[in-house]
Amino acid sequence: MTIYVDADACPVKPEVERVGTRHRVHMVVVSNGGIRPSQNPLVETVIVDQGPDVADDWIAERAGAGDIVITADIPLAHRCVSAGAQVLKPTGEVLGPDNIGSILATRDLMTDLRSADPFRQGGGKAFSKADRSRFLTALDRAVQQKR
């Protein structure tokens, strides 16, 4: 089992490291740069080339059955779920075969609506302490289930 972290703009890297260390799980933190490598021997830091979806492609090519992927990127989540990995959003939401199709369709619909109305304002809600707590619980549960 490996925990892959889509690390660019990921608000739960310390939580992933805490849970992974407690369970002695190998973690791979993937980014385009700009993050400080961990001194934890269980954490591997991978810096990929700059460019759209380069980190996503790196993770998707490696994640598979038995692995856990942490990402808020829905297309990456879809690719990883299709490969058999379990995916968690930083809010603790589990993305899997039962829900990833409808979540991807909703994301695509919202992208189309935003492009049709360039003046449309909005965005997601702020990341909260409750989100962090839900994530910790969900990741701990996922690791225990994989064992």
What CATH number is associated with residue 140?
3.40.50
Nearest to 18 by CA among 42, 36, 1, 37: 42
How many residues make up the chain in this entry?
A: 147
pLDDT tens, position by position, 77-135: 999 999 999 999 999 999 988 988 777 776 666 665 566 666 666 666 788 999 999 99
Per the structure, the complete domain to which residue 25 belongs is given by: 2-146
Residue 111, number of CB atoms within 10 A of its CB: 11
- CA separation for the pair 115, 110 (Å, rounded): 9
pLDDT tens, position by position, 15-54: 999 999 999 999 999 999 888 999 999 999 999 999 889 9
Q: Number of folded domains in the chain?
A: 1
User: How does DSSP classify residue 135?
Assistant: H
pLDDT at position 14 is: 96
- CA separation for the pair 147, 136 (Å, rounded): 17
The vertex-75 CA angle with 73 and 80, nearest 5°, equals 90
